[in-house]
């Protein structure tokens, strides 16, 4: 039997029920095809990195509204043999011609300029990131790892209910670009382009060619020559500023993880230019000092502490965080035991602290800023853009990889003839300091736009290690959801370590979120009992209920048995499985 066929048969013979324990590796992603690709790599002798990259590439094809070669991301990579954990930052950077005020018109942020079309595009990092990951940490050849994505692009994937909903939400933006329309929409009545029906096949032959060239020739197939020229001319035609010189000079960054601990477990997460990792470490630190119960307990007093800790973490974010190559971030202080103890000490157990008291922002009074009303329609109910892959292989190597084109379908611009959908990551900068972006999030001066600068991110790929052996990964996790990512990660960790939930329950449990501004708790529809909600309101919290957000993807190793389980957020269309 051919090896490919054998791998496929093996895939079909494993039980795919997520809660089932596996003796080998396990994978959780936002799309069944991506999880299957990752398992195929593990079954071919690849490790966690090969599996994670194969999955990420397939996600970029089959869920193009979240991620793809035109985007960027972060990954934590843990090597079981050496016990070393490293971070790769393949986030987009601002083009060289970017300027601080590029999204202002007559002194005000012009709606849509940083989210739709050519001016919103930052220099993509995913192609270089994936190849660098494979080169440094992979075992299989790029052609093998990229084969499932090439095949998915060539043969196509069918439109799911989620795809259709998202395409409907981004209809105007997609219609504005003929190439994006042709690829991701379908002619409706009178030939007007519409969101395709569920079940329609989307093929991307141009993207298959780009991926195939990348697998053969390496990063130069994307950052130079045909693809780079197409990106430059498409962006230029649309009035954007990204050039082929920006592309040719793009490099990834390897970093040390940000370290924290919770209930005696080492936690490794994403340092700046993510603001998410710091929030994860700070809030877990406050919760640990506050007592033995975590937010998974749903006790109003604990939830109050949790919300107040999150509020303070996001104030630090707004005040200090940006690209560490451009701004002096007092990082050691911000995650020191002293600072975390001060955060706890500043919480009034009997009253919510108004956010404006912690860091006054001009917007609340004069910019028509309404709690949880986002700039773009549809964003309010669905903070799910971006995507995450978690893998732990049978040797204990672990990868947590979060990747994005930012908002749904990124900029909605496809580089002509390449199939590459370009990001709108420029929206993660502060277009004007302390003015909300598409996530309603405010960031400060430290996140102002500058050429070559990385926009601040919330992406928080995270690894939690065994209590008895801090070099052995026990939990790999992450989620999409823009500004809600860190609180999703914190709650899944609490669900596992405090709540003793299995991984499927841990990713599925209701969630609550705060982010300093808007000054309101966001509760998903399964988040809280009415009595708990009222108890929080009695403490002075404003509470807004909404549909679920995020898409947590996690793999958990049981320290007692060494068996792996994987959970894909039941709010979405993902899939978790493993190998025996
Ligand atoms: N683009 C979403 C984030 O990086 O947080």
CA 406–ligand 1 middle distance (angstroms): 6
* Residues 6 or more apart whose Cβ sits within 8 Å of residue 25: 39, 42, 48, 51, 391, 392, 393, 394, 564, 578, 579
* CB distance 458 to ligand 1 below 6 Å: yes
The residue whose C-alpha atom lies closest to atom 4 belonging to ligand 1 is: 457
| 309 neighbors 513 (Cβ within 8 angstroms) | no
CA 67–ligand 1 middle distance (angstroms): 11
- Which atom belonging to ligand 1 lies closest to the Cα atom of 483? 5
CA 382–ligand 1 middle distance (angstroms): 14
* CB distance 459 to ligand 1 below 6 Å: yes
Q: What DSSP string describes 397-428?
A: -EEEEEEE-SSTTTTSEEETTTTEEEP-GGGG
- The CA distance from 424 to 42, in Å, is 33
CA 537–ligand 1 middle distance (angstroms): 30
The single residue of 115, 243, 386, 438 carrying the catalytic annotation is 386
Averaged pLDDT, 209-223: 98
CA 274–ligand 1 middle distance (angstroms): 8
- Which atom belonging to ligand 1 lies closest to the Cα atom of 427? 1
- To test the pocket of ligand 1, the residue of 115, 278, 425 to mutate (highest count of ligand atoms within 8 Å of its CB) is 425
- What was the pLDDT predicted at 367? 41
Question: Which one is predicted more confidently, 318 or 499?
Answer: 499
- To test the pocket of ligand 1, the residue of 92, 386, 431, 487 to mutate (highest count of ligand atoms within 8 Å of its CB) is 386
* CB distance 386 to ligand 1 below 6 Å: yes
- The CA distance from 324 to 302, in Å, is 33
- To test the pocket of ligand 1, the residue of 485, 488, 551 to mutate (highest count of ligand atoms within 8 Å of its CB) is 485
* Residues 6 or more apart whose Cβ sits within 8 Å of residue 442: 318, 361, 363, 430, 434, 435, 436, 516, 517
- Asked if residue 352 has pLDDT above 70, the reply is yes
- What was the pLDDT predicted at 7? 42
Catalytic residue list contains 484: no
Q: pTM value?
A: 0.94
Sheet (strand 521-524) strand order = 512-513, 521-524, 543-546
* CB distance 404 to ligand 1 below 6 Å: yes
- Asked if residue 381 has pLDDT above 60, the reply is no
CA 75–ligand 1 middle distance (angstroms): 13
* CB distance 457 to ligand 1 below 6 Å: yes
- Asked if residue 368 has pLDDT above 60, the reply is no
* CB distance 428 to ligand 1 below 6 Å: yes
Q: What is the dihedral of CA 130, 131, 137, 142, to 10 degrees?
A: 110
CA 456–ligand 1 middle distance (angstroms): 7
- Asked if residue 16 has pLDDT above 50, the reply is no
- Which atom belonging to ligand 1 lies closest to the Cα atom of 91? 4
Map tokens 């043999």 to a residue: 81
Q: Is 283 exposed, middle or buried (0-12, 13-18, 19+ CB in 10 A)?
A: buried
Question: Which one is predicted more confidently, 410 or 382?
Answer: 410
* CB distance 524 to ligand 1 below 6 Å: no
pLDDT, tens digit, 9 for 90 and up, residues 125-149: 999 999 999 999 999 999 999 999 9
Averaged pLDDT, 162-178: 95
Q: Name the pLDDT band for 527 (thresholds 50, 70, 90).
A: confident
- The CA distance from 319 to 4, in Å, is 52
Q: Name the pLDDT band for 344 (thresholds 50, 70, 90).
A: very high
The residue whose C-alpha atom lies closest to atom 3 belonging to ligand 1 is: 457
- Asked if residue 423 has pLDDT above 80, the reply is yes
* CB distance 483 to ligand 1 below 6 Å: no
Question: Which one is predicted more confidently, 1 or 390?
Answer: 390
- Asked if residue 323 has pLDDT above 90, the reply is yes
* CB distance 515 to ligand 1 below 6 Å: no
Averaged pLDDT, 200-219: 98
* CB distance 406 to ligand 1 below 6 Å: yes
- To test the pocket of ligand 1, the residue of 405, 482, 550 to mutate (highest count of ligand atoms within 8 Å of its CB) is 482
pLDDT, tens digit, 9 for 90 and up, residues 29-44: 999 999 999 999 999 9
- The CA distance from 294 to 307, in Å, is 12
Averaged pLDDT, 495-517: 95
CA 371–ligand 1 middle distance (angstroms): 20
Q: What DSSP string describes 305-339?
A: HHHHHHHHHHHHHHHH-S-TTTS---HHHHTSHHH
- Which atom belonging to ligand 1 lies closest to the Cα atom of 276? 5
CA 478–ligand 1 middle distance (angstroms): 12
CA 251–ligand 1 middle distance (angstroms): 19
Q: Which token pair is 511?
A: 């969630």
CA 484–ligand 1 middle distance (angstroms): 10
* CB distance 32 to ligand 1 below 6 Å: no
Q: Name the pLDDT band for 6 (thresholds 50, 70, 90).
A: very low
pLDDT, tens digit, 9 for 90 and up, residues 98-132: 999 999 999 888 889 999 999 999 999 999 999 99
* CB distance 482 to ligand 1 below 6 Å: yes
* CB distance 438 to ligand 1 below 6 Å: no
Cα distance from N-terminal residue to C-terminal residue, the chain: 20
pLDDT, tens digit, 9 for 90 and up, residues 44-93: 999 999 999 999 999 999 999 999 999 999 999 999 999 999 999 999 99
* CB distance 494 to ligand 1 below 6 Å: no
Mean residue pLDDT across the chain: 92
The residue whose C-alpha atom lies closest to atom 1 belonging to ligand 1 is: 406
- Asked if residue 568 has pLDDT above 80, the reply is yes
% of the chain at pLDDT higher than 90: 84
The residue whose C-alpha atom lies closest to atom 2 belonging to ligand 1 is: 482
| 69 neighbors 124 (Cβ within 8 angstroms) | yes
- The CA distance from 36 to 575, in Å, is 9
């Amino acid at each position: 039997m051919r090896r490919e066929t054998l791998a496929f048969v093996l895939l079909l013979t494993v039980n795919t029920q997520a809660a089932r324990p596996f003796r080998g590796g396990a994978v959780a992603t936002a799309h069944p095809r991506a999880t299957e690709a990752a398992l195929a790599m593990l079954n071919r002798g690849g490790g966690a990195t090969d599996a994670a990259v194969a999955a990420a590439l397939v996600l970029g094809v089959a869920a193009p509204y979240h991620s793809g070669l035109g985007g960027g991301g972060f990954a934590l990579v843990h090597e079981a043999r050496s016990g070393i954990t490293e971070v790769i930052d393949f986030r987009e950077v601002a083009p060289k011609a970017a300027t601080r005020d590029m999204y202002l018109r007559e002194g005000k942020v012009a709606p849509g300029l940083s989210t739709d079309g050519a001016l919103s595009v930052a220099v993509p990092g995913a192609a270089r990131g994936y190849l660098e990951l494979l080169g440094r940490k992979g075992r299989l050849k790029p052609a093998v790892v990229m084969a499932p994505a090439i095949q998915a692009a060539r043969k196509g994937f069918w439109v799911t209910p989620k795809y259709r909903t998202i395409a409907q939400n981004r209809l105007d933006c997609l219609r504005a670009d003929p190439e994006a329309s042709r690829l991701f929409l379908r002619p409706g009545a009178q030939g007007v382009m519409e969101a395709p029906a569920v079940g329609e096949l989307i093929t991307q032959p141009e993207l298959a060619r780009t991926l195939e060239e990348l697998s053969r020739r390496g990063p130069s197939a994307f950052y130079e020559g045909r693809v780079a020229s197409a990106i430059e001319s498409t962006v230029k035609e649309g009035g954007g500023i990204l050039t082929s010189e920006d592309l040719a000079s793009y490099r990834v960054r390897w970093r040390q993880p940000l370290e924290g601990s919770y209930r005696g477990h080492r936690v490794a997460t994403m340092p700046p230019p993510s603001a998410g990792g710091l929030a994860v470490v700070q809030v877990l630190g406050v919760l640990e000092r506050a007592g033995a119960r975590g937010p998974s307990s749903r006790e109003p007093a604990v939830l109050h502490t949790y919300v107040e800790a999150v509020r303070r973490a996001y104030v630090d974010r707004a005040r200090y965080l940006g690209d560490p190559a451009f701004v002096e971030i007092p990082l050691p202080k911000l995650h020191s035991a002293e600072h975390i103890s001060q955060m706890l000490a500043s919480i009034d157990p009997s009253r919510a602290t108004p956010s404006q008291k912690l860091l006054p922002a001009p917007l609340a009074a004069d910019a028509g800023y309404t709690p949880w009303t986002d700039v773009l329609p549809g964003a309010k109910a669905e903070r799910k853009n971006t995507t995450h892959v978690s893998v732990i292989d049978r040797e204990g190597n672990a990868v947590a990889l979060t990747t994005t084109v930012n908002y749904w379908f990124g900029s909605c611009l496809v580089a002509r003839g390449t199939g590459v959908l370009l990001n709108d990551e420029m929206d993660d900068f502060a277009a004007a300091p302390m003015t909300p972006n598409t996530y309603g999030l405010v960031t400060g001066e430290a996140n102002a736009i500058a050429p070559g600068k990385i926009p601040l991110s919330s992406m928080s790929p995270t690894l939690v290690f065994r209590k008895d052996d801090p070099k052995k990964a026990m939990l790999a996790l992450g989620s999409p959801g823009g500004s809600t990512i860190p609180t999703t990660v914190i709650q899944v960790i609490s669900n596992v370590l405090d709540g003793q939930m299995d991984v499927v329950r841990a990713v599925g449990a209701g969630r609550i979120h705060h982010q300093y501004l808007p000054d309101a708790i966001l509760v998903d529809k399964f988040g809280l009992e009415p009595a708990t909600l009222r108890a929080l309101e009695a403490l002075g919290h404003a509470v807004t209920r909404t549909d679920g957000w995020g898409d947590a993807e996690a793999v958990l190793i049981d320290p007692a048995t060494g068996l792996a389980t994987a959970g894909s957020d039941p709010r979405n269309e993902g899939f978790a499985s493993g190998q025996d």
